[in-house]
Amino acid sequence: MTDLSRRRLLTTAAALGGASALPFGLRAQEPEKPAEIIVRAWGGVWVDSLKKGVSDPFTAATGVAVRHDLTEDNEIKPRIWAAVDQGRIPPIHINWDTTANATSSALRGACEDISDLPNLANVLPLARPIGLDGVPIVNTYAYVYVLAYRPEAFPDGAPTSWNVLLDPRFRGRVALYNDGIGFHPAAQIAGGGTLADIPGDMDACWEFIAKLKDQQPLLGEDPDFTAWFQNGEIDVACTISSNAREARANGVDVAWTVPQEGAKVDTDGMWIPKGLPENELYWAKRYIDFALSLEAQQVWLDGLGLPGVAPGLTPPADLAGDPSYPTTEADFAKLLLVPPRIQAEHTAEWFAKFKEIMQG
Amino acid sequence: MTDPDARPQSGSGLGPATGPETSPETGPARGGGPAYPLSWRLLDAIEGLAALWPARASGAVKWALLAPALALVALLLWGLGVMADASLREMDFRTYRLSEDWSLANYARALGSGAFWATARRSLLAAAVVTIICLALAFPYAYAMTRTRSARLRKLLLVGLFLPFFIGQVVRAYGWLIVLGQEGLANEALGALGLGPWRMLFQYPTVLFGLVQYMLPFAVLMLAPALAAIPEEVERAAESCGASWPRALLHVVIPMALPGLIAAALVVATLTLTDFATPAILGGGTNDFLANLVYDQFFRTSDAGLGSAITLLLTLAGTTVAGVLLAAAGVAALGVRGAR
């Protein structure tokens, strides 16, 4: 074991030890350790970072193995819901999920309350979900849907507005998420509307997206953006900064910016489905609690290039001062936030409208 | 089940043994007893067991044989029943639970949605176009495969037929991403000629192209047995009566191959209509089929009610397509005995 990894193990043990100093339900003794806990995760850089920053140190410190289930977050959700409704043990212990998606599970009553995590007392307010009873989800970091672009296609410098997506030069060479996620507030502002009008009046958003339809955009998911930039299929896209950063790390010439209209900021979080045996619930909580610690977040989120909820994190060198890496109130004020509960309650409606435009 | 003229009876109490003294499976007889292949003995044992089946229950045999298939159909119908129930319940997005009451709201939403009609039109058109192209390409392939006198060519065609089955649909679709991409092999070749690059991916024709490539082996597989069942002598007889080969093909072979053509059309049309992966991968997100819309409702918006309604509408569309094909050709065209 290297000096660094030994030191890391000690800090991890300290972080977990600190947590166990105030155990869930004031336990005198730790409950039986399960052979493993299963954490649903996204693939690629996402799971690699989680493994390095959270799962491996957790296993080293507790002896509880962590298995990552790479089932899509949308696809695991109905399985969890069915298990909870039928009183079965759910298929995973922890769901690493978008907060908006997790909110739908919380509204359905499928989440355990995890308000007794000791580290919740030490993290930024961003970690606590807004508008829900108790703490069914903890947010673990924020991320921004940036305007990613190929610098070669922008010889005069970075684009400054989302309106660049409507430039005829980029017809057939722009990309969005295939459910429109991450783009609604930007389209609302770029289309002449205001953030405050969401969800009541989103005509500006839909008109902008309808114009964008004429640009023949490609619609995909996280891995598609990296592949499309890599294969020269697109010049500009609305995607999470981590995907653009990952593409750049793979040698693809990609840059990103937060345009003058702002960019949507969102959070991901973790939650525990109801129905786990008591001892497994305890260790699942320990895992999430550790994921909130400074030690875990520093390594995990360095890999993703995202700002965490533990105070005192050091930004990766390439992201210091980057508007897609908000760390202060002022940074967040420049971004566009739609509360997750509003997103959860309107997802189907917005999705239907987006599909109506894009498939028509 | 067994043919007494084809092989001797073993010592199963049905008669004296008169078979050979050696066999490839048993070797030479020892101890003077009869030596029969093991497979014969097994068949005789099964025959013996069959004798235990009460004669009064002989009418139940066909149902016993049909039971597994009927169980599968029952399972399918049960699933459709659950879907039908869910399709009549509306999702409350404040609690993410389906309503207690039944209504037709989900069907009204689906049928009032432009996205539904766009994807339905795209799916149905694809089913028609892909079926026609596949039949046109599969017929000569299957004909050559069943009629060629060259064993080498037949093997080559068989390998060409079965090889795609070893490569999954998703892998094949990804292969087209590499070949047809902006910096793919096709555009590289065009570039060498001073042409392009052209956007070949993420268009509706590309989706159709990918589907034809995927469905063609199914069509050949359905057609080949029908063509193989047509004796070559029939063609020769037609020619000896003065018909040219094209006329014999048109008036003799194709009508006789109708069961295979209809079966191939049914398989290709219904698989295309309900396809998910090819439009998802080659369509670039703007060329979805109905199956993609179903996926979206179940998994992206968690609206099991609307998803179920669209699923049932898709099932109805598939059944209609199959019904139209069968009505046009007649069920008898499938070679079903007694059908009119």
pLDDT of residue B337: 59
pLDDT of residue B307: 98
Confidence tier at B334 by pLDDT (50, 70, 90): low
Mean pLDDT of all residues belonging to chain B = 88
Interface check for B91 against chain A (CB to CB < 8 A): the answer is: yes
With beta carbons less than 8 A apart as the criterion, state whether A264 and A184 touch.
yes
My answer on whether A304 and A226 are in the same domain is: no
Residue of B nearest to A351 (CA): B301
Cis peptide preceding A199, ω within 30 of 0: yes
Does residue B8 surpass a pLDDT of 60? no
Instruction: Judge: B285–A220 Cβ closer than 8 Å, yes or no.
Output: yes
Instruction: Judge: A347–B115 Cβ closer than 8 Å, yes or no.
Output: no
Look-up of token digits 């669209």: B310
With beta carbons less than 8 A apart as the criterion, state whether A179 and A277 touch.
no
Domain B107-334 indexed as CATH 1.10.3470.10: no
pLDDT of residue A2: 46
My answer on whether A260 and A312 are in the same domain is: no
Tokens coding A271: 């939650």
Instruction: Judge: A355–B303 Cβ closer than 8 Å, yes or no.
Output: no
Tokens coding B208: 């159709």
Cis peptide preceding B197, ω within 30 of 0: yes
Does residue A19 surpass a pLDDT of 70? no
Instruction: Judge: A359–B301 Cβ closer than 8 Å, yes or no.
Output: no
The residues on A that touch B, with CB distances below 8 Å, are 72, 74-75, 77-78, 81, 104-105, 107-109, 172, 178-179, 216-220, 227, 231-233, 344-349, 351-352, 355-356, 358-360
Instruction: Judge: A356–B94 Cβ closer than 8 Å, yes or no.
Output: no
Strand A65-69 vs strand A94-98: parallel, antiparallel, or unpaired? unpaired
| Angle at the Cα of A114 from the Cα atoms of A108 and A115, rounded to 5 degrees | 115
> Which 3-state string (H, E, C) describes A143-183?
EEEEEEECHHHCCCCCCCCHHHHHCHHHCCCEEEECCCCCC
**In chain B, which residues have their Cβ closer than 8 Å to the Cβ of A74?**
299-300, 302
Does residue B79 surpass a pLDDT of 80? yes
pLDDT tens-digit profile of B49-59?
878 878 888 88
User: CB contacts < 8 Å between A and B, how many?
Assistant: 94
Instruction: Judge: B113–A74 Cβ closer than 8 Å, yes or no.
Output: no
pLDDT of residue B13: 37
My answer on whether A23 and A123 are in the same domain is: yes
Q: DSSP states of B250-316 as a string?
A: IIIIHHHTHHHHHHHHHHHHHHHHT--HHHHHHSTTSS--HHHHHHIIIIIS--HHHHHHHHHHHHH
My answer on whether A126 and A221 are in the same domain is: no
My answer on whether A113 and A245 are in the same domain is: no
My answer on whether A343 and A210 are in the same domain is: yes
My answer on whether A205 and A330 are in the same domain is: yes
**Residues present in chain A in total:** 360
Q: How many domains does chain A have?
A: 2
My answer on whether A252 and A195 are in the same domain is: yes
Look-up of token digits 């969102």: A266
Does residue A21 surpass a pLDDT of 60? no
Phi, psi of B291 (to 5 degrees): -60, -35
**In chain A, which residues have their Cβ closer than 8 Å to the Cβ of B205?**
none
pLDDT of residue B2: 39
My answer on whether A343 and A219 are in the same domain is: yes
Instruction: Judge: B182–A219 Cβ closer than 8 Å, yes or no.
Output: no
CATH number of residue A12's parent domain: 3.40.190.10
For residues B191, B195, B199, B204, the Cα torsion angle rounded to the nearest 10 degrees is -120
**Residues present in chain B in total:** 340
Instruction: Judge: B93–A178 Cβ closer than 8 Å, yes or no.
Output: no
Instruction: Judge: B285–A178 Cβ closer than 8 Å, yes or no.
Output: yes
pLDDT of residue B28: 47
Does residue A170 surpass a pLDDT of 70? yes
Interface check for B112 against chain A (CB to CB < 8 A): the answer is: no
| Sign of the four-CA dihedral A259, A262, A264, A267 | positive
Residue of B nearest to A349 (CA): B301
Short-list A224, A182, A233, CA closest to A205: A182
My answer on whether A270 and A230 are in the same domain is: no
The C-alpha atoms of residue B272 and residue B289 are separated, in whole angstroms, by 9
Residue range A98-110: mean pLDDT, rounded? 96
Confidence tier at A167 by pLDDT (50, 70, 90): very high
Does residue B18 surpass a pLDDT of 50? no
Residue range A18-27: mean pLDDT, rounded? 49
What residues contact A142, with CB distance under 8 A and at least 6 apart?
A126, A265, A266, A267, A306, A307, A326, A332
pLDDT of residue A24: 58
Confidence tier at B62 by pLDDT (50, 70, 90): confident
Does residue B310 surpass a pLDDT of 50? yes
Least Cα separation, residue A313 to chain B (angstroms) = 33
Does residue B269 surpass a pLDDT of 90? yes
Q: For A110, how many CA atoms within 13 A lie in the half-sphere containing its CB?
A: 31
- Percentage of chain A lying above the pLDDT 70 cut: 92
Does residue A71 surpass a pLDDT of 50? yes
Partner-chain residue, chosen from B95, B113, B118, that has the shortest CB–CB distance to A352: B113
Residue range A31-59: mean pLDDT, rounded? 96
pLDDT of residue B165: 87
Instruction: Judge: A345–B93 Cβ closer than 8 Å, yes or no.
Output: yes
Confidence tier at A87 by pLDDT (50, 70, 90): very high
The C-alpha atoms of residue B180 and residue B198 are separated, in whole angstroms, by 9
Q: What ipTM goes with this model? A: 0.87
My answer on whether A110 and A129 are in the same domain is: yes
Short-list A207, A171, A172, CA closest to A189: A207
Q: Which residue segment(s) compose the domain that A76 sits in?
A: 3-142+266-319
Short-list B296, B317, B185, CA closest to A356: B296
pLDDT of residue A222: 84
pLDDT of residue B51: 80
My answer on whether A219 and A335 are in the same domain is: yes
Partner-chain residue, chosen from A232, A347, A349, that has the shortest CB–CB distance to B182: A232
Tokens coding B126: 């694809």
With beta carbons less than 8 A apart as the criterion, state whether B260 and B222 touch.
yes
Task: Give me the residue spans of the domains in chain B.
Answer: 107-334
Describe chain B by its helix, strand, coil percentages, rounded to 5: 70, 0, 30
| Sign of the four-CA dihedral A141, A146, A152, A156 | negative
The C-alpha atoms of residue B259 and residue B263 are separated, in whole angstroms, by 6
3 state DSSP class of B328:
helix
With beta carbons less than 8 A apart as the criterion, state whether B187 and B198 touch.
yes
The C-alpha atoms of residue B114 and residue B110 are separated, in whole angstroms, by 8
Least Cα separation, residue A213 to chain B (angstroms) = 9
The C-alpha atoms of residue A264 and residue A185 are separated, in whole angstroms, by 6
Tell which of B300, B303, B308, B311 to mutate to test the A interface (max A CBs under 10 Å).
Answer: B300
Phi, psi of A171 (to 5 degrees): -60, 125
Least Cα separation, residue B301 to chain A (angstroms) = 5
pLDDT tens-digit profile of A131-152?
899 999 999 999 999 999 999 9
The C-alpha atoms of residue A251 and residue A245 are separated, in whole angstroms, by 10
